[in-house]
Chains A and B, each alone.
Chain A
C-alpha cells in the first residue's frame, strides 16, 4: 500500500563537500533516496559515513562555510529545497521537516525554558498567540509522555534528565506537525531502558500522527525493531537499501554483511569470536572513483578498483552497490561484460 503513494521527500544525486584547511572533504556523494508518507526509513552506517551530513544538507542546516552542497535535487512538497530562498527554507523547517538531533544534552538552549523553546516554532509557523502556544506546548509535552507537563514547561533544560530532554527535542520537532521527521541518532546517548521508552513512544506517535520518519542510528537492533526500510551508508554513499526484512535476511553488500556479523547478541547463540571489519573507513579527500569499501572488503577484485559500483537491484525494492553477485557468488555479469569492452 505504501509503495503506490507519492514520495513526500525525494532526494536525487546529493553531493555535499566541506572545504577545510587540508582540502575538500567529500562527505556525501551522489546520494539518492525517497521517503513515502507514513514510512519509517532507517539509516545505518558507521561513524563518519555521512548520515548526518546528508540529512542536514536537505534543509540547509550545515554551516556554510565550510559546507557546500554541490549538486543534487531535494524535492519536498513540489519544491526543490536546494534552490529555495532562505525564507522559503525557513518555512519548510518546522512545519515541513522536523529535526531531532543526536545529543539531547547540548541541543537545547540552556538559558530558555522548555516552554519558551516549544512555543517558538508554534508562534512562528502556526500563527498562534502566546496563550494558544502555551496550551499546545503542554499538549505536546504530554504527548511525548512527560508527566506534570504544565509545570515542567517553566523548567530549564538542565532540570530534565537526558531521556526527558530527548523527549522535549521530539516534542519540538513535532510541534508543527511536520510531514517528515528526521531523527539523527536520537537514542545513541541514552541508556537501554530509556532508549526502550523512546522507541515505544515513537512507535506510538507514528500510529497517532502518521508522519514519515528518517531514523539515523548505528544500532542495527533499533532499526530492526522500528523501521520499514533500511539504508546502509558507507563512505558518503548508500551502499545498500531495501526493506528491513530483506536486508537483514539477505544482505547484499559485504559491508552490511560484516556489520550484521560483528554485533554480538544478548539472546541468540554466543559466538566464540566476534567478526571484525579490519581496517579504517576511507578518507573522503576526493570524489570516489572506486568502491569506497574495497580496502576492507574480503571479496575485493579488479573491478572494485576500477569503478565505483552503481546501485544494482538485487531484489524487490532492494538494491546494493556492489560488483559481487551474492546469488551466484561471483562477480556481476554487468561488470564482466563492461570489463570486456
Chain B
C-alpha cells in the first residue's frame, strides 16, 4: 500500500548536485533523479531491457525496429500521468529529444542521441525515431537511467542556453517515477514524497524519502551498517577488514553487482619523457623506449598478484580479472591467464628482453639505461595501496618505480592546460577505472582505435589513452559497425578485448569492480543493478515488518 512504510532514508557518499541527468554525468545525480524521472525502457540486473514508460520493447520481430535498422518506434504506456496530474504524451518524449540535442544546451547525454535524424510523435502514444544511418543498437535514446523523459510543460523555457539556469526545473523536475521532489538542497540533500499519480496505486511503499549526501564511503557505510540511521548507503567502497567488521554488527549487508567497471593499468606506448619538447611528449611521434618491447609489458602484468590486490583493496567489492570487458556474461572473454602471479616468469621475460641488472643495485638496466618507471594515479586510498603493492612486486623483479598521485579533479578534469590529466599521460604507467554506458561495449572498444590517441592538436581529448595502435583492431571495429547478429558481435567483442589485453598488454586489467552499496536489514526489495540506476526498482522497496 502506498505510503504505508513511512520514510526511506538513503545516504550517498556524494551528494546530488542536480536532479536533471541531462546536465550531469555524475552517478550521484543520476541515482537521485532516477527516483523521479523515468526513461522509456531500462536495464534489468542481468543487462536485458525492460519496458518502463513504453508499452513494450520494440524489436525487429514486433516491428518496432525497422528491417533496415533506420527507425525505431516506441509505443507508450497509456494512462501514465506526471506527478502534477497531467498526462504523459509522445510530445514530452519528442521534447526531451529536442532538449538534449539542442547544440547550445550542453547536454551531458548527447552521445545517447547520436546519429538521430529526427524524433516525431506519430500519435499521442507513439514516438518514432529515425536514424541517419542504420543502427546496430537502436536502444540508446530514452533508454536507461541516463536518458529519462522530461516534462515538456516544465522544461519548455529551458531549451538551449537556458538549460542550466532553469534552477527550479532542474532541482524539482516533474516526473513519472514513484517519487517527487519536495525540497532540494544542492550538494546536500534531496527530500521526496510519494508521487500521488504514480501508475501503480500500491507503490511506492514509502511515503517519503530523503537522499542525504555524506562525504565519504566510510561514514556512508557506517550510517547504514553500524548505526542504522539510514536504510541504503550508495557507494560504500571501504577496506575489506572494515567491511567484515561492519557486517559483524548485524544491522545490514553489502550488496554488489558487477558491470563493466575495470580497474586497470594502462601502459604508455609513447614516450612521456620530459626531455621531449612540449607538444611531442606522449604523442605517437615517439614510441615508448621501454614498452615498445611486449615482453616488458607482459612481465609487468605477470609480476602482479591480482587476487591479493583485490583481497587487500576491495574484498567483496571486486574480483580479479584479465578482461577489459568482463561483463555481461555473453561478452566476457574466458581469459584467465593473468590470474596467477608468476614472478620467475616475469624475471625471465625481462632477461630475455635484455634488461638485466649489470651493476648489482637490484635494478635492471639495458644500454646504460635503468628500468625505471613513473606510475601515476588519482588520489584515492585504495589506489595508493595498489600502487604500493605493485611497486613492491615490480621492485622484486628489478624495476624501479616512482609513484605519483594526482588530485582526481585534476587527473580526470580534462583541462588541456594541466600536465596531470590522465589523457595527457605524462607518465609510463597509470591506473584508473572505466566502464561504458549500457550493456553494449562497442563504442567503448572503439575508443582504442589509432586515430583516437590523444594529441595536442585536439586538446588531448582522445580516449585511446595508452595510444594503442593496431590496424587489425581498427579493421575489426569497422566490421563490427555493420554486424547486427548478436552472436557474431559477441565474438568480435571478445576478440577485441583479447587484442588489447592478452595479446598486446597495453591495458593491464586488474580487477572488475562491483557497484558496492550497503542495505539495512529492514529494507526489502533491493536488487542491485550494474547497468542502470541502483534505485531502478525503488518503487518496489519496502520496510520489513
* Touching chains A and B, CB distance < 8 Å: no
- Which residues of B approach A to under 8 Å, CB–CB? none
